[in-house]
Structure 1
Amino acid sequence: MTITEMLEKRARLWEQTKQFLNDHTDADGKMSAADVEAYEKMEADIAEIGKTIDRLAKQAEMDKKLAMPTSKPLVGNPGMPEKKGTASDEYRKAMLTAIRTKFRDVSNVLQEGIDESGGYLVPDEYDRRLVKALEEENVLRGLATIIRTSGDRKINIAVTAPSALWVEEGGQLTFGDATFDQKLLDAYKLHVGIKITEELLADNAFQLEDHILTQFGRAIANAEEDAFLNGTGIKQPSGVLKDAQVGVTIDTVDITGDDIIDLIYKLKRPYRKKACFITNDSTLAVIRKLKDENGNYLWQPGLKENEPDRILGYGVRTSQYAPKLAAGNVALAFGDFSYYNIGDRGHRTLQILKELFAGNGMIGFVMKERVDGLLILPEAVQVLKVAGGSTGGTTGSEDDGE
């Protein structure tokens, strides 16, 4: 079944689900236990189809890349520069050989990539593939602004802007002082280790590098996404939910359509142009049942390939690391997440541990990266919070969003 067919199937199932909810809800907004079970089954089917659509989209993208020519004729690129250092084919091949021989055979080519901590810089080609894996797995990396830096990165923020004043003919001009603040992107160390059997290393038929990159990419992406959302800023990035402004506070976990509308308009108009929602899957399940004042459901499935599902016209992404709907938690974040800056410090490195697991016939590999994240303008993201605790978010102003 194609992606388009899956999208159409999900849209049909959603219409059936809405009709079921309308037909089996009493005047008090309640359903019988049997009806609730049936509804949740239909809702789970919709969610599973959505995951299948995402998998098919990734598979199509991979097929497209694999179908591309692996090389181009020299006549088509007469001025094509020679790849050197960690970008060269020689470095990539030397790294793969070193991995398979447990770094016993380290060629001179790899000397260019020795890291100060004792590991080896990941080849550029693999590093790009790892970043791609992070973008696919990590919600924030697809929305935030990515900065590559070799040192601490200072970001200037305009605190006050000049204002225009009417002046009489021949009147005296007045000058105001523009003031600036600075945000600092640091670098926190994140690492992940895996163990591989010696037999697996010796099996040349196995695509070892793909296995390693997939495992490293998934583990790092999960740790990053958690930190980019919930990080404390102490020995880890500062998460979006820590610094975002609390736009709406509700007394109970019973979210209403009006609460979501209030949250949208708490965000100033310029930020709404590129805004989207981030929430937990369990919270989204609650929102799917909500209607606006005209009886229309707030949530609508994406009808085109690569198009996100929407709440009141704005895209919605889910993360397993977004807080669940509970007292004291942030239930929903809405804003322009490009104002969350992610600073990648240099290359990722790969290190081998030859002796640690030698008694078990295994080799350890450790990949490290240094990264930071910071919401540089807290007003760019507003959150809906359930009363009863102090988790996440800073108190926003009473601005009406305009």
Structure 2
Amino acid sequence: MSYNRETRNASARPVVTGLQTRSASGEGGSSPAELRGIIENINRTFGEFRSQNDQRLQQLEQRGSSDVVTEDAVNRINQELTRLSNELREVETRSNRPGGSGTGNQDSPERVEHRSAWDAWARRGAGEHELRSIERRANTTLVPEDGGFLVPDTVDRNILDILGDQSTVRSLFTSITVSADSYKRLVGLHGTGAGWVGETDARPATNGPQFGEAEASFGELYANPQISQRLLDDSALDLESYIGNEIALAFADTEGPAYLFGDGVKKPKGLFSQATSAQTDKERPYGTFQALDSAAANGLGANSAATDRLIDVIYSTRSVFRQNARWLMNGLTVSAVRKLKDGQGNYLWQPSAQAGEPASLLNYPVSDMEEMPDVAAGNIAIAFGSFQRAYQIVDRMGIRTLRDPYTNKPYVGFYATKRTGGVVLDTRAVKFLKIAST
């Protein structure tokens, strides 16, 4: 069948003993020429893929099987497409990274004072009482008296910037920062009644609106980067940037899977750990996501059946959520759907046409995310919808640090903790494709 879519709008990081520190900004930005070159390679390779896969499909129709040479060629080119797509994503991420998060003259005298006192404490362990006094004067309740010190505001912002840049999972969702250890929000379940009346008819009361309460589940992340005392004594080291980068990269490695699959025990309860049902939006209870079974057991199904089921997933999603919708799957699943065609012989998957524009499936962008499960019985291998409308990350304001110069001499450890969680917003906004078992 043809498809016509509507118009739409952790662990400690390695010890560092010299000035060659790791930066979240990688090797720097990328030129437009580099981006264009990769996109041209992707489109050229996809042309080769189409030719070989068409030959494979023709062999399947004529003989019931394809020859080994054709299958190998299709798989080889498919792997090259995946490699190029990953390279494009990495280069685009590198290009979009901010050069820094400093605020220059916009910082208040209080913030400058706190930053200077924190730097002295972090480098030499000096001025602990002065730093505590500064935080006390600021009336902060974010850190208890025996709970370490808040990182400077510039470091806090830098960590959140890097997390947003490094964590592909975090970029899927909206986020909010709160000052309390809990977060609840009312969710409208609609239900207000209405009726037809004549000019002089009585107007009896109708049903009022219904509300549900959504509560975020929190967990505490930690990182414990180690720095040699000699390096701390070197004034050339930008300590704020170094510690901020190390903490952010450690957090990014750990928090992403929790936002997707966390079980809610000492960590957030992730999007894919919520209750699911085959029932439609009008039938499901609040707090339950709809999961559609794949067209065949243990896989996506044959070409036409798999295509039809992907279209079912799209149109089981309300139009208001389709406006900013995208697909979510891992690279192996992308390789599988890349071979699918509609009834007119058009490939469902199309490569990126320009920098900043992702590849698409049935005209919706595809997020290739390695954390997603493979195509196997019982797995939710594909999701579709407006993820920003479905789930929200909740960050507790402030990152605490404890300085430990004793445990791992001659290195100084900076034990940092951050509370973060997640909350479901609207279970109608995203649909799951679950691989059938039978």
Same fold (TM over 0.5): yes
Distance in 2 (alpha carbons) for counterparts of 1:204 and 1:46: 46
Report the alpha carbon displacement of residue 219 of structure 1 after superposing the two structures with TM: 2.2
1:89 match: 112
The alpha-carbon distance between structure 1 residues 112 and 186, as it changes in their structure 2 partners (threshold 3 A), is farther
1:253 match: 299
1:291 match: 341
1:366 match: 415
Report the alpha carbon displacement of residue 111 of structure 1 after superposing the two structures with TM: 4.2
Contact 1:227-1:239 within 8 A present in 2 as well: yes
Please state whether the residue corresponding to 1:379 is helix, strand or coil. coil
Please state whether the residue corresponding to 2:54 is helix, strand or coil. helix
Matches within 5 A, 1:230-269: 230-243=261-274, 245-250=289-294, 251-255=297-301, 256-269=306-319
370-379 or 17-26: bigger deviation: 17-26
Distance in 1 (alpha carbons) for counterparts of 2:135 and 2:89: 36
Contact 2:149-2:402 within 8 A present in 1 as well: yes
Name the amino acid aligned to 1:189.
E
TM-score after normalising by structure 1: 0.84
Select the residue among 391, 413, 424 that pairs with 1:340: 391
Report the alpha carbon displacement of residue 105 of structure 1 after superposing the two structures with TM: 5.1
Report the alpha carbon displacement of residue 165 of structure 1 after superposing the two structures with TM: 1.8
Name the amino acid aligned to 2:291.
G
Contact 1:240-1:375 within 8 A present in 2 as well: yes
Name the amino acid aligned to 1:241.
F
Distance in 2 (alpha carbons) for counterparts of 1:204 and 1:49: 41
1:21 match: 53
Distance in 2 (alpha carbons) for counterparts of 1:193 and 1:171: 72
Matches within 5 A, 1:90-105: 90-101=113-124, 103-104=125-126
Select the residue among 30, 34, 38 that pairs with 1:6: 38
Matches within 5 A, 1:40-79: 40-62=75-97, 65=99
TM-score after normalising by structure 2: 0.77
Distance in 2 (alpha carbons) for counterparts of 1:163 and 1:291: 45
**Structure 2 residues not aligned, in runs of 5+:** 1-32, 137-142, 277-288
**Structure 1 residues not aligned, in runs of 5+:** 73-79, 390-402
Contact 1:94-1:110 within 8 A present in 2 as well: no
Report the alpha carbon displacement of residue 52 of structure 1 after superposing the two structures with TM: 3.0
Please, what is the CA RMSD of the aligned residues?
2.7
Matches within 5 A, 1:182-193: 182-193=213-224
Name the amino acid aligned to 1:27.
L
Distance in 2 (alpha carbons) for counterparts of 1:55 and 1:258: 32
Select the residue among 350, 358, 382 that pairs with 2:401: 350
Report the alpha carbon displacement of residue 9 of structure 1 after superposing the two structures with TM: 2.5
Name the amino acid aligned to 2:241.
D
1:158 match: 188
1:133 match: 162
Select the residue among 315, 329, 332 that pairs with 2:379: 329
Report the alpha carbon displacement of residue 107 of structure 1 after superposing the two structures with TM: 7.4
Report the alpha carbon displacement of residue 249 of structure 1 after superposing the two structures with TM: 0.8
The alpha-carbon distance between structure 1 residues 6 and 191, as it changes in their structure 2 partners (threshold 3 A), is same
The alpha-carbon distance between structure 1 residues 11 and 211, as it changes in their structure 2 partners (threshold 3 A), is farther
2:17 match: none
The alpha-carbon distance between structure 1 residues 205 and 71, as it changes in their structure 2 partners (threshold 3 A), is closer
The alpha-carbon distance between structure 1 residues 19 and 97, as it changes in their structure 2 partners (threshold 3 A), is farther
| Equivalent residues, number | 374
Q: Deviations over 1:186-214 (max 9, x none)?
A: 43211122233334434444445434333
Report the alpha carbon displacement of residue 118 of structure 1 after superposing the two structures with TM: 2.3
Contact 1:153-1:185 within 8 A present in 2 as well: yes
Q: Deviations over 1:90-141 (max 9, x none)?
A: 433443343333x245472564348325222122222222112111222332
